[in-house]
């Protein structure tokens, strides 16, 4: 569905370097701290900015064709319509932009999730505005959804509603790329994750591999010295000794029955990527 081949881009003093293959039928999460380069990645995919080197292909086309944009729904954090506009006006724009804009479906989303279609944008709460952006992105039956922090500003109930809608939206022919600061949202949604730090991909794993193979091992200084660290990827010094990240959980569960071995969350992995000491 999407390939980034040796893509390099420099924006003032920030550079990115991306190689990625995002597969059809997958929900791919993009994880990274503030300023890691997540939005820049999505802008490169959407052809809003162009690579200095390398290539980006979407739907097998390089660069993205204008006709392909009808098959993409996107939500970007900092760009939307002027707040003086009404929702009805925006519906008209989307009907003109997308021949397959499904007004009935859009109404159904808004009605089911308490977004008043009669309203002007300026009267909507932050949460309603966030939902509106998502419903617009979903309502022309796009094959590809690019969602940059779509749940920002939503409470937990609304976030879970949106995650359910995205799960229901998926089928084998559709693809979602989503970034979020809320790791649990991605944990419960994504099939595949890319971890980005300072414009580079630091880790790419399926959610299954993260859940089955990755773990945190918490040991004292003495226990750390005795432990086989050949399958430890990175460590952090802690008050009690060391916290160690492994991608060989079964090995440590089998051989170190007396130490604390915990599942590694997305937040744990990101923290190790940023602050861990690689072995």
Ligand X SMILES: Nc1ncnc2c1ncn2[C@@H]1O[C@H](COP(=O)(O)OP(=O)(O)OP(=O)(O)O)[C@@H](O)[C@H]1O
- Using CA atoms, how far apart are residues 272 and 83, in angstroms rounded to an integer? 40
Query: Is the Cβ of residue 32 or residue 127 nearer to ligand X in the bound state?
Result: 32
Q: Does 139 bind ligand X (CB under 6 A)?
A: no
| Contacts of ligand X in 239-278 (CB under 6 A) | none
Total site size for ligand X, rule CB under 6 A? 11
Q: Does 52 bind ligand X (CB under 6 A)?
A: no
**Does a cis peptide bond (omega within 30 degrees of 0) precede residue 63?**
yes
Minimum CB distance to ligand X, residue 181 (Å): 7
Q: Does 230 bind ligand X (CB under 6 A)?
A: no
- Using CA atoms, how far apart are residues 277 and 118, in angstroms rounded to an integer? 54
Q: Does 150 bind ligand X (CB under 6 A)?
A: no
Figure out which of the listed residues 9, 38, 131, 140 binds ligand X, where binding follows CB under 6 A. Answer: 38
Q: Does 151 bind ligand X (CB under 6 A)?
A: no
Query: Is the Cβ of residue 39 or residue 246 nearer to ligand X in the bound state?
Result: 39
Figure out which of the listed residues 29, 37, 51, 73 binds ligand X, where binding follows CB under 6 A. Answer: 37
Figure out which of the listed residues 25, 35, 63, 250 binds ligand X, where binding follows CB under 6 A. Answer: 35
Query: Is the Cβ of residue 35 or residue 63 nearer to ligand X in the bound state?
Result: 35
Query: Is the Cβ of residue 4 or residue 244 nearer to ligand X in the bound state?
Result: 4
Query: Is the Cβ of residue 77 or residue 86 nearer to ligand X in the bound state?
Result: 77
Query: Is the Cβ of residue 18 or residue 242 nearer to ligand X in the bound state?
Result: 18
Figure out which of the listed residues 4, 22, 40, 252 binds ligand X, where binding follows CB under 6 A. Answer: 40
Q: Does 180 bind ligand X (CB under 6 A)?
A: no
Q: Residue numbers of the site for ligand X (CB under 6 A)?
A: 11-12, 14, 32, 34-40
């Amino acid at each position: 569905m999407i390939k980034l081949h040796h893509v390099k881009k420099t924006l003032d003093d920030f550079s990115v370097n991306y190689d990625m293959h995002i597969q059809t039928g997958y929900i791919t999460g993009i994880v990274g701290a503030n300023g890691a380069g997540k939005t820049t990645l999505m802008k490169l995919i959407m052809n809003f900015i162009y690579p200095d080197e390398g290539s980006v292909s979407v739907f097998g086309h390089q660069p993205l064709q204008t006709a392909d944009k009808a098959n993409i729904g996107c939500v970007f954090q900092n760009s939307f319509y002027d707040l003086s506009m009404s929702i009805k006006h925006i519906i008209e724009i989307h009907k003109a932009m997308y021949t397959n804009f499904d007004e009935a479906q859009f109404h159904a989303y808004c009605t089911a999730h308490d977004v008043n279609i009669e309203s002007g944008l300026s009267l909507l709460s932050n949460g309603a505005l966030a939902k509106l952006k998502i419903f617009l992105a979903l309502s022309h039956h796009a094959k590809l959804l690019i969602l940059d922090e779509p749940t920002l500003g939503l409470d937990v109930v609304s976030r879970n509603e949106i995650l359910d809608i995205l799960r229901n939206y998926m089928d084998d022919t559709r693809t979602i790329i989503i970034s979020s600061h809320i790791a649990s949202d991605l944990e419960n949604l994504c099939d595949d994750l890319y971890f980005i730090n300072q414009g580079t991909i630091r880790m790419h794993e399926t959610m299954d591999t993260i859940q089955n193979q990755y773990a945190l091992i918490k040991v004292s200084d003495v226990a750390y010295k005795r432990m086989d660290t050949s399958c430890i990827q990175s460590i952090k010094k802690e008050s009690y000794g060391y916290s160690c990240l492994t991608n060989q959980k079964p090995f440590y569960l089998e051989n170190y029955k007396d130490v604390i071995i915990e599942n590694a969350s997305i937040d744990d992995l990101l923290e190790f990527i940023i602050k861990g000491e690689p072995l």
